[in-house]
């Protein structure tokens, strides 16, 4: 009987975020190609680097705006 040293497999995927940086929930939303192009164009003219960041910021600003 042979004994082999098995090393644990490396975990794949993105490393876990620190506790304070973890987002709470994922909300699946579908957009048309035209909507995605429009949002990507708007994101490029903003200070956001990612489309998801732009969407999150835009929704937050709309929700916090006085009615």
Confidence of residue 2 (pLDDT cuts 50, 70, 90): low
pLDDT of residue 17: 81
Spell out the residues 6+ positions from residue 51 whose beta carbon is closer than 8 angstroms to its own: 36, 39, 40, 43
Give this prediction's pTM.
0.65
Instruction: Round the CA-based radius of gyration of the chain to a whole number and report it.
Output: 20
pLDDT of residue 53: 94
**CA-wise closest residue to 57 among 41, 44, 43:** 43
Per-residue model confidence as pLDDT tens digits over 9-50 = 788 888 888 887 777 888 999 999 999 999 999 999 999 999
């Amino acid at each position: 009987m042979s004994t082999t040293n098995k090393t644990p497999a490396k975990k794949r995927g993105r490393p876990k975020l620190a506790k304070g940086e973890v987002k709470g929930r994922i909300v699946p939303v579908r957009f048309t190609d035209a909507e995605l192009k429009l949002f990507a164009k708007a994101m490029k003219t903003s200070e956001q680097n990612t489309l998801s960041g732009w969407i999150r910021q835009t929704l937050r600003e709309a929700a916090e705006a006085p009615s």
